[in-house]
Amino acid sequence: MNSHLFIPFVFASILATSISAVAHFFPNASSIPPSLLPTTPDGKWDTFKNLTGCHAGQKIDGVAKLKQYFNYFGYINNNNSSINFTDEFDDNLKSAIETYQLNFNLNTTGQLDEPTLNQIVRPRCGVADIVNGTSSMNSGKTTTTSHIHAVKHYTFFPNAPRWPAEKTDLTYAFLPDNGLSDSVKAVFSRAFQKWAAVIPLTFTETSSYGSADIRIGFYRGDHGDGEPFDGVLGTLAHAFSPPTGRLHLDLAENWVVDGDVTSSGAVDLESVAVHELGHVLGLGHSSEREAIMYPTISTGTKKVDLAGDDVEGIQVLYGSNPNYNGSATATTTSQERDTNGSGSRFVAQPWWLWILLAVALTL
């Protein structure tokens, strides 16, 4: 084989292997076969819970893998990926844990306490929280007006990239090899509409995958972009900053397309799609737990409406949709609790409903 044809051939082979299997789409959580559900509630990272109580100065089996986790998400800066991490709980790990705890609004102990590990093992987006050591979740950033003290948690990629101002309609297409059904494509249409409702952009599906602004695909394992997927749970999806327009989802997940999602091991497709489109538009991760751009989402959870933090951040980049009425869509969010608990559903009600209820009780 000619040498100049070798690299494209290898890339094509990797790509073909990564999409050869069929993605798992289910109408609801109860339709997922038990054989496809993970054996542990938190998937591949569940073993990190064995490190509970570990602190600086100790050497415990499994710490090296935790360092790899923190390196992947930007908390340990290691430009040389060939360096092997050790099981020593050193100062670099302690610093990484403290930064992580700050970003996720946990007590900044520098130790692997139970709340910290419960957060670490949750399924999450594959986009790093800290990019190139210069951009992180702004858990401590504050702004003050004459009467209001507020914390803004939204972040951007380095240099705050966005789509060009002259592109007000972005096209999107799905990887043809995935053979997605109309019901799956409709999930993404709803996800795009969440963002279009608050900014002056529209999104139009096209059949031309190669020329689309935004290209959406499901892949397995190593798929040629340097960000391999890891199987069931762990990292669910990732996307690239504007104007790259690539959105990749892990083909191995148990994706719920519509209906009830309350099952350990079930991942709501629309929730993940709305989050990843935030990255495609230029948002980084947020420290606000209710925000769409919060990095983690528990299985059995549906979270599809923008919070005020999401709206404020995206409007900094693009301005407001002229038809936007100024209220965050999160006021009507249905949030399904993680089925590690009772499996019940919590529905956040609009603020005005609580006022009416309070008035009624006083009559």
Return the active site residues.
Answer: 276
The Cβ of residue 15 has, within 10 Å, a number of other Cβ atoms equal to 18
SS (H, E, C) 154-173: CCECCCCCCCCCCCCEEEEE
* Tokens coding 278: 């935030």
Q: What is the spatial distance between Cα 226 and Cα 195, in angstroms, rounded to a whole number?
A: 28
Q: What is the spatial distance between Cα 307 and Cα 301, in angstroms, rounded to a whole number?
A: 16
The Cβ of residue 6 has, within 10 Å, a number of other Cβ atoms equal to 10
Helix (H, G, I), strand (E, B) or coil at 92: helix
The DSSP-derived string for 258-290 is SS---STTEEEHHHHHHHHHHHHHTB---S-TT
Helix (H, G, I), strand (E, B) or coil at 216: strand
Q: List, edge to edge, every strand of the sheet that includes 169-174.
A: 202-205, 169-174, 214-219, 246-250, 237-239
Q: What is the spatial distance between Cα 339 and Cα 39, in angstroms, rounded to a whole number?
A: 15
Helix (H, G, I), strand (E, B) or coil at 249: strand
Q: What is the spatial distance between Cα 313 and Cα 160, in angstroms, rounded to a whole number?
A: 11
Residue 183 DSSP one-character state: H
Residue 88 DSSP one-character state: B
- Find, among 286, 283, 293, 300, the residue nearest to 334 by Cα: 300
* Tokens coding 78: 């290691």
